[in-house]
Amino acid sequence: MQFFYWLIFLVAIGIAILAVQNSNAPLVMIKFLIWRFETSLAYTILGSIGAGILVTLFLWVPRAIKSSIRLRELKKRVESVETVSNGSTKPIQQENKPKSS
């Protein structure tokens, strides 16, 4: 995990160096549908990287929340199975019972 943080840090340093070195570059024209923007290359680079980070987060966060909820459910199941196997008379709660219509 620490390697991952160092890799992210090095990529961020590289992006910052790229943006600073291109800060005095000529303006870039960006066209999107009916809008036209004229901005520096550094802002274009930083904006596109920021947009990529946001899209990645929007796709990753729901999956992380779902797996966290699933992990919590599985831990509860393990605790109930351990309780039953240790001699307690408490029954196992089944969360995925078939629904009868």
pLDDT tens per residue across span 2-53 = 787 788 888 888 877 877 777 777 788 888 888 888 888 778 878 888 888 8
Over residues 75-82, mean pLDDT: 88
How many residues are listed for the chain in this entry?
A: 101
Predicted pLDDT at 89: 53
DSSP code of 28?
A: E
Helix ranges restricted to H, the chain: 2-21, 41-85
- The encoded tokens of residue 17 equal 């160096």
Coil, helix or strand for 25?
Answer: coil
Q: What is the pTM of this model?
A: 0.51
**Which is it for the CA torsion 68, 71, 73, 75, positive or negative?**
negative
- The encoded tokens of residue 77 equal 């199941």
